[in-house]
C-alpha cells in the first residue's frame, strides 16, 4: 500500500487530501484541506499551504483533477487564472510521479470506483448503475462539467469532454426570450450560461427584464438561498427554469454518448439533490420524441460522496499506476 496526494482544483476552491492505494484501487481518502483559489497566486502556493496545514512531508506522487482541458505544455483552468506546467512539477512541487485529469474525468473515475451507497436516486428505475456500457456524468458548479465512463467486463475507459460549452437550445417561447436576452450580453450562449451557479443569476435577470419586474438579488449565494427556500418568487421561477434546462441538457448528453445511465455531480448537483425530483428535470430529460420510453428507462442518480473529485483523482492514479510488487 502506498500514500499519494490528491488535488481537486476548480474555479473557486482547491481541495487536497492524502489517499491510500492498494491493488490498483483507493482504499482510504484522508480528511480534505480546502483553500480558496482567489487567496493564492498559484497552485504551487496552495500546495505548500496544504503541507503546512497537515504538518508533515508531502508525498512525492500526486494526482490532480483539473477544471480545464488537459494536454500541452501549459494547462489553463477554465474559470481560474492559475496555470500548471507539467514539465515543472518535479522542480516546483518536488513530485516524482503525477497524473493530471480533467475535473469531470475525475468524477468518472470516482463513479468507476465507488459503490451504490455513494448515490441518491433522481428518476428512472431505481436500479444499480450498469456494470457494462456507457454512463454519462454531468454536473453544474462554477461551470458545467461533462464526461463519460465506458465500463467493460475487463475494465473501463474514461472520456473527458468540454460538453458544457455546447450551444444552449431553447425549447419553448419563454426560453426563446431568455436566449435573446443572454445574446445581448454574450457573443455565444452555451448551456453553461444557464446550467451553472452563475446560470441562476443569468436566468433571474433575464426573467426580470422580460417581465419588467425589479430584480434585487445580485449576490449568487443570496439568490440560491432565496430560490431554494422559495422566499423570492422570481428567484424560484429562475430555479425552475434552470432545472428544466438541466434536464434537457442531461438527456441530450445521454443520447449523444449512447448512455445506459446518468450520474449528476458538481457542487450544485449535490445542492439540488432534494429539489430535482420535485422539479421539471425528469420531464425534460425524457422528452426526446421517439426515444422517450428509452430515456424513461434510464436510471439517473446524484453522486453524494463528500469528495468525489478527490476520490476520482486518487482513483485515476490507482488506475494508471496502482502498486507494483516491488513497492509492497
Joined grid coordinates for residue 256: 449523444
Closest CA to 184 of 165, 197, 204, 202: 202
Which residue has 497524473 as its cell numbers?
99
Give the DSSP H or E segment for 61: strand 61-66
Asked if residue 259 belongs to a known ligand binding site, the reply is no
Q: Is the dihedral of CA 206, 208, 214, 218 positive or negative?
A: negative
CA–CA gap between residue 130 and residue 299 (Å, rounded): 9
Cell numbers at 183, concatenated: 445574446
Helix (H) or strand (E) holding 33: strand 33-36
7 is in an annotated binding site: yes
For every residue of 77-97, DSSP letters joined together read: -TTSS-EE-GGGHHHHH--SE
Q: Three cell numbers at 68?
A: 480545464
Among 274, 11, 299, 282, CA closest to 133: 299
Half-sphere exposure of 202 (CA within 13 A, CB side): 25
User: 259: number of CA atoms within 13 Å, CB side?
Assistant: 28
Give the Cα separation of 284 and 323 in Å (integer): 44
- Residue 99 assigned as binding residue: no
11 known member of a binding site: yes
* 63 CB-near residues (< 8 Å, 6+ apart): 4, 5, 6, 7, 19, 98, 99, 100, 101, 313, 314, 316, 317
- In the annotated binding site for ATP, the residues are 7-12
Binding-site annotation, residues:
7-12
Amino acid at each position: 500500500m502506498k500514500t499519494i496526494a490528491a488535488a481537486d482544483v476548480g474555479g473557486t476552491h482547491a481541495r487536497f487530501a492524502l489517499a491510500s492505494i492498494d491493488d490498483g484501487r483507493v482504499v482510504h481518502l484522508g480528511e480534505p484541506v480546502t483553500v480558496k483559489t482567489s487567496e493564492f497566486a498559484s497552485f504551487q502556493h496552495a500546495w505548500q499551504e496544504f503541507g503546512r496545514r497537515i504538518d508533515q512531508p508531502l508525498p512525492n506522487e500526486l494526482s490532480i483533477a483539473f477544471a480545464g482541458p488537459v494536454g500541452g505544455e501549459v494547462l489553463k483552468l477554465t474559470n481560474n487564472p492559475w496555470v500548471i506546467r507539467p514539465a515543472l512539477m518535479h522542480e516546483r512541487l518536488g513530485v516524482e510521479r503525477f497524473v493530471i485529469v480533467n475535473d469531470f474525468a475525475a468524477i468518472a473515475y470516482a463513479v468507476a470506483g465507488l459503490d451504490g451507497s455513494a448515490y441518491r436516486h433522481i428518476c428512472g428505475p431505481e436500479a444499480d448503475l450498469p456494470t457494462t456500457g456507457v454512463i454519462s456524468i454531468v454536473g453544474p458548479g462554477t461551470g458545467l462539467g461533462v464526461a463519460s465512463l465506458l465500463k467493460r467486463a475487463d475494465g473501463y475507459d474514461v472520456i473527458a469532454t468540454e460538453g458544457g460549452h455546447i450551444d444552449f437550445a431553447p425549447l419553448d417561447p419563454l426560453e426563446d426570450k431568455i436566449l435573446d436576452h443572454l445574446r445581448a450580453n454574450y457573443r455565444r450562449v452555451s448551456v453553461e450560461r444557464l446550467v451553472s451557479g452563475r446560470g441562476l443569476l443569468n436566468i433571474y435577470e433575464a426573467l426580470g427584464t422580460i417581465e419588467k419586474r425589479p430584480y434585487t438579488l445580485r449576490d449568487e449565494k443570496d439568490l440560491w438561498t432565496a430560490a431554494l427556500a422559495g422566499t423570492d418568487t422570481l428567484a424560484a421561477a429562475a430555479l425552475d427554469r434552470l432545472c428544466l434546462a438541466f434536464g434537457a441538457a442531461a438527456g441530450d448528453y445521454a443520447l449523444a454518448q449512447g448512455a445506459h445511465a446518468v450520474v449528476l455531480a458538481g457542487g450544485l448537483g449535490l445542492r439540488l439533490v432534494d429539489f430535482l425530483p420535485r422539479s421539471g428535470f425528469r420531464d425534460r430529460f425524457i422528452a426526446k420524441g421517439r426515444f422517450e420510453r428509452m430515456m424513461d428507462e434510464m436510471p439517473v442518480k446524484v453522486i453524494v460522496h463528500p469528495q468525489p473529485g478527490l476520490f476520482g483523482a486518487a482513483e485515476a492514479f490507482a488506475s494508471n499506476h496502482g502498486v507494483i510488487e516491488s513497492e509492497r
